[in-house]
Amino acid sequence: MGFRQGITISMTIQRFESGPRMSQAVTYGDMVYLAGQTAGTVEGTGVTAQTQEILGEIDRLLALAGSDKSRILTATIYLADIATFSEMNAAWEPWVSPDNKPTRATLEAKLAAPEYLVEIVVTAVKSAS
Amino acid sequence: MGFRQGITISMTIQRFESGPRMSQAVTYGDMVYLAGQTAGTVEGTGVTAQTQEILGEIDRLLALAGSDKSRILTATIYLADIATFSEMNAAWEPWVSPDNKPTRATLEAKLAAPEYLVEIVVTAVKSAS
Amino acid sequence: MGFRQGITISMTIQRFESGPRMSQAVTYGDMVYLAGQTAGTVEGTGVTAQTQEILGEIDRLLALAGSDKSRILTATIYLADIATFSEMNAAWEPWVSPDNKPTRATLEAKLAAPEYLVEIVVTAVKSAS
């Protein structure tokens, strides 16, 4: 078969829940990028509760973008106080897909408002369709 | 057509403006990664001015790599003082492509030199050719 | 040749050295993502020694995932104290592939334990096979 064949794979960028500054999810091809997620309810909560709420929001956004937590490649976790590392893990460990653990880095960083104790960024790929 | 066909898509890494420690931009396939950008002029400037200069530099590097701000997928913004969040947004909001907002995470982190008030990392895809 | 051809490129996620919270490396297609690497030996060491150990571990994990340091696209370096920037570079500069510098961002962040002085996250692509 002595011919060369041009291959075009359609790759478009899709953006979800865009506000004035950012989108909450962006997909390109089968890659899924989520914005840094913080908890919506912060009054009187602790790190474990905020992490649980964030992980639920990540589930929701991944579903919106055609993925799920078993398809997460990487996670970056920012804690306002690194001393709350085990409180964050108390929510993370039961949530993460047991056979599909992403890479992870956890760091201390002050977040956009002092009531935010945790922020999580994940990158995933779409679920097989 | 009962044959299987091996498919090779040529994917090379290209590196732009490489110095002793890093490259300012790296592309692979149609992905474009930029190094963390800080302002060149820092004497007597504030966060808004530094952010404007950084965003101009991002425009320049994206063009060099065959992309533009409408094709940014993700942005990570580091502020030396998170209290300058709205000063940073004062430069970000008029700059970001209105119909093409990337995901974003904004964090406080001390940067490589104390005069740097902002550092921004973006990932993009090449513009359709 | 008046036919259209469905193209399926097999893309699976592989995970390496998975523990209760994360995997140390995850690959998807030819992309390679490493978890944030910290030094194993921290007693009485400094930033240069910890960085050297981390870079050796990155070499090991990249090899495991089918890549090597000449194929790194991006690096993010977190220092517990940004004043150790040049101590980190003293290990980084002789290590990084001279003709293949990745993009880089270096930030100060407290890490998961106070004895960790450096943490490095890299993204790479598999070596040509």
The 3-state DSSP class for residue A70 equals: helix
Whether the per-residue pLDDT at C105 is higher than 60: the answer is yes
DSSP-derived secondary structure letter, B9: -
C-alpha A92/C-alpha A48 separation (Å) is 9
The three-point CA angle A38-C16-A63 to 5° equals 40
With contact defined as 3+ CB pairs under 8 Å, the chains touching C are A, B
Amino acid at position C28, single letter: Y
**Strand order, beta sheet including C23-28:** C13-18, C23-28, C31-34, C118-125, C72-79, C103-108
**Rounded alpha-carbon distances, angstroms, from residue A7 to A22, A29, B63, C3, C9:** 33, 15, 25, 13, 12
Per-residue pLDDT tens over the stretch A77-90: 999 999 999 999 99
Shortest Cα distance from A6 to chain B (angstroms)? 10
pLDDT bucket at A69, cuts 50 / 70 / 90: very high
Residue C120: count of CB within 10 angstroms of its CB: 25
Nearest CA among A54, A112, A106 for reference residue A84: A106
Question: Cβ distance C73 to B16 under 8 Å?
Answer: no
**Rounded alpha-carbon distances, angstroms, from residue C32 to A83, B33, C58:** 30, 15, 11
Mean pLDDT, all residues of chain B: 92
Cβ pairs bridging A and B (under 8 Å) = 72
For residue A105, the chain C residue with the least C-alpha distance is: C36
Per-residue pLDDT tens over the stretch B12-42: 999 999 999 999 999 999 999 999 999 998 8
DSSP-derived secondary structure letter, B28: E
Strand C23-28 vs strand C72-79: parallel, antiparallel, or unpaired? unpaired
Q: Distance from first CA to last CA of chain B, Å, rounded? A: 32
Q: How confident is the model over A123-129, as a mean pLDDT?
A: 89
pLDDT bucket at A44, cuts 50 / 70 / 90: confident
Residue C69 CA to its chain's centroid (Å): 9
C-alpha A128/C-alpha A66 separation (Å) is 9
Amino acid at position A35, single letter: A
Instruction: With beta carbons under 8 A apart, name residues in chain A contacting B92.
Output: 21
Decide: pTM greater than 0.80.
yes
Instruction: With beta carbons under 8 A apart, name residues in chain B contacting A121.
Output: 76, 103, 105
Place of tokens 């995997």: C23
pLDDT bucket at B10, cuts 50 / 70 / 90: low
The 3-state DSSP class for residue A14 equals: strand
Q: Who contacts C5 (Cβ-Cβ below 8 Å, separation ≥6)?
A: none
DSSP-derived secondary structure letter, C48: H
Mutating which of B72, B89, B107 best tests the A interface, going by the most A Cβ atoms within 10 A? B107
For residue B105, the chain A residue with the least C-alpha distance is: A36
At B25, give phi and psi (nearest 5°): -145, 145
**In this complex, which of B9, B74, B89 lies closest to A21 when CB atoms are compared?**
B89
